[in-house]
Structure 1
Amino acid sequence: MKYKFIIILFFNAIISCGGNSDDDIEKQNDSSVIYTPSNEVISNPERGFMHLWSVKSEGQPITEAVLNDLKSENVTIINRLYYLEAFKNSDLSAAQLNLIKTDFERFRNAGVKCILRFAYTDDIDGEDASLNIIESHLDQLKSLVSENSDVIAFVQAGFIGAWGEWYYSSNGLANTEGRRAVLTKMLEVFPKEIKIQVRAPLYKQNIFNYSEAIGADVGYGTSDLARVGFHNDCFLASADDYGTYQNVSAEKTYISKEAFFVPTGGETCPPTDVPIASCSKSEIEMSLLKWSYLNLDYYGPVLDEWRANNCFNDFQRKLGYRLSLKTGNFKNEVSENSNYQLNLVIKNVGFAPVYNVKKSFLVFKSKDGTTYKRELNLDIRKVLPNVDYNLTESVNLSGIPAGEYQLFLKIEDSSEALKERSEYAIRLANTGTWESSDGMNNLLHTLKIN
């Protein structure tokens, strides 16, 4: 009896210890990370303040020195406006095409992207080109823009009227029929992954004969409707932004909904019947309309107002997307050739989502620097502003040998030519996570594969 009693006490002691139950062992194998958000102004592709640099026919390409200086300004995109005033009645010359090609090469070398626009005049009373000439020029540009689509962030519709703003036309193109013809040709010429921006919301509605904003079922596709966004070159400059809007409230609501899927951006200009926009009003508008980029060069007094009232840097942080990690839940150990459950919460504190398709990977890095990449199903475009995004994926570990690995999240350009370039990878807005040499975000967790 005495021995039986001792054995019972022994087993009771094991049970009361609690540390060896399946649930407790499972809990011991879990780790949680709370990530610290960063307040730093950081550079990320296809967003932020940009410079507008125009060039006349057969002019000089942008110098590499000027492009390299952009890093000190945290600028990753430039609006390149090509004036084709010498070719209103003829084909584009070899010199003109070479100018554009050289610019593309230099954009790529410098790690930046461009927002393209073409126009024939910078004079309200000036002449643009006929539809036949525009279509012919687009045919000439087709191979060039296709080969260099990786460094084109967006395209502003252009071609029609002064500055390519679609308002004036000496050739009768400033109407729905003319605008539709130019836009249709552009959608044909530019690769399907490139989005084209028109000058006013009604232009898109009239061209496609619709009024309800597109939803996710259309917005994440590559149909013509899903490829057309908006640029506003007189943002906050009057009650209707110099005629950008007809029904201001309704059209802003429409853009706000569509801008989950297509980009908005542009520049300010001299205010007329309104005061210079305050920080608070500007933030409300940028948030509502999901602004991705804004001209750093114009209009100076508006930008100075923001600098004087300490919101310029905040806008520099928030224009476009600003993604940050909130929390992560990880297993500490797993078996070789098993599946690994990734659980992250990502927040977008920027004004807009990411618009261009990216590829995302969970990267396993060993102590000797060897890396293994596993592509995720994550569509980073769906990390919407001010909404927590729960990234939960099962990642197959087949082919990764036993050992200890640091975990990283890499969000890279979808282009084969740019995927290894850290300048084109998305940096998350957290402290102590960015690895600039590899363009990866450290998840601050080490996994042991047994």
Structure 2
Amino acid sequence: MKKVGPMNMMERIAMVALAGLFCVTCAPDSKDAPLVLQELNYTENPIDIPNPDRGAYRGRWQNIAPHSVNETNSPFGITPEVDHRVPVDANSVRYHGRQVPPVEGDDIEATQFYNGDNQNDAPYIGGTGVSALPAISFMCFDLCNFSSNAFLSAKDAFGYKDDGSFVDPVSGAGRTGKTRPLTPFALDYIRGLLQKVRTGDGVAFVKFSYDGNGFNYIESHKYPNLDLTSGLIHGPEPTFVTENNPSAKCTVPGHEDKNWIEYHIWQLKPIFKEFEDIIMCVKTGMLGPWGEQHSSPEAQNVDAYKTLLDAYLDAVPDSRALLTHAGGFLAWYNETYGTTYTFTNIDAMPVPPKDSPEARFGFFNDSYAAGSWGDNGSLSEGNSMIDKRYGGSEYDRYRVITWINKQNQIVQGEGGIGDNVFGNMPGAILEAQQLRTTALNMRHGRYDRWNDFRYNEANVTTPVTFPASGEELREGAFTGETKTTIFDPVYDGRTGLEYFRDRMGYRFVLREANASEFVARNGVLTFEGKIQNVGFGNVVNKKRVSVILKAKEGSDTFTAATNLDARDWHTAEDGNTRADNEAAWRDLNFAIALAEFEEVPSGEYDIYLKINDPKEQSANKRCIRFANKGNCWNADLGANLIGRTKVR
């Protein structure tokens, strides 16, 4: 069937409709009804469309001026990250940071992107004027109570820094948690917060660590009155052997073959399975401050990554992505397959086979687009560790990005967004297309840089020359590759931030829909259409794609499954997501025997396409909505209108 551009779409509707009438007149009893072009709006609506597994999320981020620290604002000292502190029992002190406004559980609330201005003790206002309704809940859990190496507050950490004692010399109170199994109370607490996500309308970005609030790391700029050097005070993991934590091995009978991290992950395995339907991905965390897998001895240990990632591969259902950094992945891959890849040739690694263990690994960048050659170390994380084990490892930004692109997985970032070629537009767009950027923390980063960028053809298509090396980035004279972004007129005149907000992850626009004009009792409902993914990335987690027939008269609905795989609706590799790039339109075809819908009475029906997780427990939550203009979304069904037909 010949594709037709937008200018002659109405003519085609008329022609197909006339042809359909002619065929019905000539063959009224035919079982094979003609396909009729549907009268739908096939153009994109440039607005925020919240969809599962992609987009902005409300990071649990706080900013407190040193003079504002008190028992109310921050009872444990200054900490920018505010992971949920997992309690031991009902008497444990709860902590979720100085949230503004306070939120525990489902973080789905319309929020402005951060403009970089520290609000200190004022309510969070964002400052950009550009809002999004997140579809991702930031479910990060601090297990500091369950490691004898994890400090319970910034005050405790500084006390240890001063006197080297794990016990306060005045009060006699311990400064750290206690290495032990997660208690039933702790596990129920985790279940309770994840249930809030399920009850809401979001998915969970999950992370566990032993220092979710960064107490084991000094950020000297937060203490201008003290003469401090930034860096690790102490490794927080219960597998780090110290006088306070004399053994890394689990002591629970029957589990002595595990270390304590493996045992804790084993304890969490039933929870991962129980909440598989609402988990977007699991950040493998556990090592280093904030679970960012840097600085601590364990976070720089090849063998620790092999053990950690194997434990997560076993515990987390294979339908879910696991996030780590490049060094962690290289360590696991080499130790698993007997290879010796380093940062020098990471781009030569093969595309991971579909459904293989290596295909499950995505990437987290804790200083997204920060602007340095290695994004403050996030892109180059683990290079020295890999060099020590395998030798000759030399980090190159573009090689890492090539590897990330091949993975075709979830890429999550905390906003850094520096004033440089990688952080400023249009270079930031080109980077995101290569990275397949999926999710960003809207409450951490200089989003005013993108908000100040006017998205128009002249600005967008300005050629960008990238630095060939880290030295060039510092010196300012670039001799690397020159690239040009493709302008999409749908966003003409809007801000770069609005464009970026909507392009994170996948974004689907229905471009063509042809459906059976009628379906006989023993006939087949046939649909032939085209869909375009205009996002930076692709669908990663498997989705169920179903067809719903909804009666025009009354409220009866009838549902049948298809064999469509939304993961096949890939975005254009060259970044050309314009509507006129028909090469990027993907087939959306199915043929379903009417009997598959069970007993469908005669009458007129709307045809809907529903896309959600195969294990979704609700009727209409966490379903993928197309970004078309018009009134095609049915919130009650959680489905997109794609046509109409008659049942005879």
TM-score (norm: length of structure 2): 0.61
Pairing 1:378–2:524 present:
no
Residues 166, 179 of structure 1: 8 Å contact kept? no
Aligned equivalent of 1:266? 413
Aligned equivalent of 2:366? 233
Match of 1:308 among 440, 443, 452: 452
Residues 403, 448 of structure 1: 8 Å contact kept? yes
Structure 1 residue 99: Cα displacement: 2.4
Match of 1:67 among 102, 107, 118: 107
**Residue pairs, 1:54-133, within 5 angstroms:** 54-58=83-87, 59-60=94-95, 63=103, 67=107, 69-70=109-110, 73-88=132-147, 89-121=179-211, 122=214, 123=217, 124-129=232-237, 130=239, 132-133=259-260
Q: Indicate how the Cα distance of structure 1 residues 406 and 20 shifts in structure 2: closer, same or farther if over 3 A, else same.
A: closer
| Comparing 31-40 and 18-27, the one that deviates more | 18-27
1:247-303 superposed Cα distances (whole Å, 9 cap, x missing partner):
2112211211212xx21111123749x47821212111111110110011112xx21
Pairing 1:205–2:338 present:
no
Gaps spanning 5+ residues in structure 1: where? 1-17
Q: Indicate how the Cα distance of structure 1 residues 184 and 247 shifts in structure 2: closer, same or farther if over 3 A, else same.
A: same
Length, aligned pairs only = 420
Pairing 1:50–2:90 present:
no
Structure with higher strand content? 1
Aligned equivalent of 2:387? none
1:142-177 superposed Cα distances (whole Å, 9 cap, x missing partner):
21222112221111110011111222224x452221
Structure 1 residue 389: Cα displacement: 0.8
**Residue pairs, 1:418-433, within 5 angstroms:** 418=618, 420=619, 422-431=620-629, 432-433=631-632
Q: Report the 3-state secondary structure (helix = DSSP H, G, I; strand = E; otherwise coil) of the residue aligned with 1:139.
A: helix
Pairing 1:250–2:399 present:
yes
Q: Report the 3-state secondary structure (helix = DSSP H, G, I; strand = E; otherwise coil) of the residue aligned with 2:621.
A: helix
Aligned equivalent of 1:8? none
Q: Could you tell me how far apart the structure 2 residues matched to 1:30 and 1:23 are?
A: 11
Q: Could you tell me how far apart the structure 2 residues matched to 1:322 and 1:98 are?
A: 36
Identity of aligned residues (%): 25
Structure 1 residue 78: Cα displacement: 2.6
Structure 1 residue 109: Cα displacement: 1.3
Q: Indicate how the Cα distance of structure 1 residues 447 and 276 shifts in structure 2: closer, same or farther if over 3 A, else same.
A: closer
Residues 418, 424 of structure 2: 8 Å contact kept? no
Aligned equivalent of 2:601? 401
Q: Report the 3-state secondary structure (helix = DSSP H, G, I; strand = E; otherwise coil) of the residue aligned with 1:287.
A: helix
Q: Report the 3-state secondary structure (helix = DSSP H, G, I; strand = E; otherwise coil) of the residue aligned with 1:166.
A: coil
Pairing 1:319–2:359 present:
no
Pairing 1:333–2:526 present:
no
Q: Indicate how the Cα distance of structure 1 residues 182 and 64 shifts in structure 2: closer, same or farther if over 3 A, else same.
A: closer
| Comparing 45-54 and 93-102, the one that deviates more | 93-102
Q: Could you tell me how far apart the structure 1 residues matched to 2:21 and 2:632 are?
A: 35
Structure with higher helix content? 1
Q: Indicate how the Cα distance of structure 1 residues 345 and 173 shifts in structure 2: closer, same or farther if over 3 A, else same.
A: same
Moved over 6 A (4+): 18-24
Structure 1 residue 354: Cα displacement: 0.9
Residues 45, 423 of structure 1: 8 Å contact kept? no
Structure 1 residue 305: Cα displacement: 1.5
Residues 213, 258 of structure 1: 8 Å contact kept? no
Aligned equivalent of 1:154? 281
1:48-100 superposed Cα distances (whole Å, 9 cap, x missing partner):
00122312342357846973534884101033222212211222233432321
Q: Could you tell me how far apart the structure 2 residues matched to 1:128 and 1:19 are?
A: 70
Q: Could you tell me how far apart the structure 1 residues matched to 2:529 and 2:269 are?
A: 41
Residues 108, 135 of structure 2: 8 Å contact kept? no
Pairing 1:437–2:496 present:
no
Q: Could you tell me how far apart the structure 1 residues matched to 2:22 and 2:364 are?
A: 61
* Aligned alpha-carbon RMSD (Å): 2.7
Aligned equivalent of 2:443? 297
Residues 213, 255 of structure 1: 8 Å contact kept? no
Amino acid at match of 1:80: M
Residues 52, 80 of structure 1: 8 Å contact kept? no
Q: Indicate how the Cα distance of structure 1 residues 317 and 160 shifts in structure 2: closer, same or farther if over 3 A, else same.
A: same
Q: Could you tell me how far apart the structure 2 residues matched to 1:66 and 1:198 are?
A: 24
Aligned equivalent of 1:5? none
Q: Indicate how the Cα distance of structure 1 residues 25 and 350 shifts in structure 2: closer, same or farther if over 3 A, else same.
A: farther
| Comparing 75-84 and 122-131, the one that deviates more | 122-131
Q: Could you tell me how far apart the structure 1 residues matched to 2:95 and 2:570 are?
A: 40
Residues 108, 202 of structure 2: 8 Å contact kept? no
Q: Could you tell me how far apart the structure 2 residues matched to 1:65 and 1:177 are?
A: 34
Q: Could you tell me how far apart the structure 1 residues matched to 2:24 and 2:603 are?
A: 25
Aligned equivalent of 1:135? 262
Q: Report the 3-state secondary structure (helix = DSSP H, G, I; strand = E; otherwise coil) of the residue aligned with 1:52.
A: coil
1:382-418 superposed Cα distances (whole Å, 9 cap, x missing partner):
1111321112221111133332211111112211413
| Comparing 375-384 and 326-335, the one that deviates more | 326-335
Structure 1 residue 307: Cα displacement: 2.1
Structure 1 residue 125: Cα displacement: 2.1
Q: Report the 3-state secondary structure (helix = DSSP H, G, I; strand = E; otherwise coil) of the residue aligned with 1:350.
A: coil
Q: Indicate how the Cα distance of structure 1 residues 187 and 48 shifts in structure 2: closer, same or farther if over 3 A, else same.
A: same
Amino acid at match of 1:412: N
Residues 112, 151 of structure 1: 8 Å contact kept? yes
Residues 37, 513 of structure 2: 8 Å contact kept? yes
Q: Could you tell me how far apart the structure 2 residues matched to 1:20 and 1:284 are?
A: 48
Q: Could you tell me how far apart the structure 2 residues matched to 1:20 and 1:95 are?
A: 67
Q: Could you tell me how far apart the structure 2 residues matched to 1:322 and 1:102 are?
A: 31
| Comparing 394-403 and 56-65, the one that deviates more | 56-65
Structure 1 residue 20: Cα displacement: 10
